[in-house]
Copies of this chain bind each other. A is one copy, B any other.
Amino acid sequence: MNDVLVNQKINERILLINKALDQSLPTTDHTPAIIHEAMRYSVNAGGKRLRPLLVLASAEAVGGDYLKAIQAACAIELIHTYSLIHDDLPSMDDDDYRRGKPTSHKVYGESIAILAGDALLTLAFELLTEVEKSANLSGATIAKIIREIACAAGSRGMIGGQVMDILSENKVVDEHTLKYIHSHKTGALFKASVRIGALIGGASETELKNLTEFAEKFGVAFQITDDILDVEGDSEKLGKTVGSDERKKKSTYPSLFGLEQSKILAAEAVDGALTSLNSFGEKADILKFFTSHLLNRTK
């Protein structure tokens, strides 16, 4: 499949994901309106929907029906959104803008922002229970999928990464700690996205193993290119000022390895990720597209 066709497919799926997210979020008719307004505000604040797209693409890569993975895809996006709301809070990263828009606590105040995050996390698990109906999974598989996501998002996963990031503020960290932060704060949810897509799609043990390897390398490539973008990117396209990592004295790949070496490491991770997809052929076209385009990210 050529890039134009893949792009078209991705755009169709983004519409599908946005529609499903809209349906899964309580409307502002529900009391108390403000919490549902705040939840919707952050979910609709212009994300690229990369994680839910990875869920669908992984279900497809193993020959499954990606439509059965749509609620799981939305659940992952809700968890990602909650984590951004809480990360942006004054007591955490203290960010006033995200993707060019005022952050939740700037619009709704701190208490509602915290509760909107809590509510999105809770709704994610509610949504995951819908997968049972649409994909007709056994109790054991439903339990496995929910456990996978809870582990990835919890204190030994994403939250652990955020804690380590906070503990490392204003410190020069070593390579080991930098990799810990990345693999937990962002990597864990990428891996869960790919793995639950694969599980819902009915992956074999070998397929699951290969896709897990893919996801780990994809996560590394994503984070290195993210760090590079913060040095070299275009503020307008990013929706945030560049150089924010340096101002916040955050350790990054460029600060630890230099810009050129970081680019080499990113390219290696992309190569590794693509190799893990070898056995999937055309079914993995969307995963391959996302991976190869990491090297020329602009946002």
Chain A residues in the interface with B (C-beta under 8 A): 26, 30-32, 34-36, 39, 82, 86, 89, 91-92, 109-112, 114-115, 117-119, 121-123, 125-126, 128-130, 132-133, 136-144, 146-147, 150-151, 153-156, 159-160, 162-164, 166-167, 180
Q: Given contacts A132-B143, A140-B132, is CB(A126)–CB(B154) below 8 Å?
A: yes
**Are A118 and B159 in contact (CB-based, < 8 A)?**
yes
Q: Given contacts A122-B121, A129-B147, is CB(A34)–CB(B142) below 8 Å?
A: no
Query: Closest chain B residue to A146 by CB distance?
Result: B129
Q: List 7 A-B contacts (CB under 8 A).
A: A31-B160, A35-B163, A86-B114, A115-B159, A122-B159, A137-B139, A139-B139
Which residue in B126, B136, B150, B180 is a CB contact (below 8 Å) of A151? B126
Return A102 CB to nearest CB of chain B, in Å: 17
Q: Given contacts A30-B155, A32-B160, A163-B32, is CB(A118)–CB(B115) below 8 Å?
A: no
For A118, list chain B residues within 8 Å (CB).
Answer: 82, 86, 117-118, 121, 159
**Are A163 and B115 in contact (CB-based, < 8 A)?**
yes
**Are A164 and B92 in contact (CB-based, < 8 A)?**
no
Query: Closest chain B residue to A121 by CB distance?
Result: B121
**Are B164 and A31 in contact (CB-based, < 8 A)?**
yes
Among A117, A136, A139, A142, the one with the most B-chain Cβ atoms within 10 Å of its Cβ is A139
Question: How far apart are the CA atoms of A128 and B150 in the complex, in Å?
Answer: 10
**Are A146 and B160 in contact (CB-based, < 8 A)?**
no
Question: How far apart are the CA atoms of A156 and B60 in the complex, in Å?
Answer: 34
Question: How far apart are the CA atoms of A128 and B132 in the complex, in Å?
Answer: 15
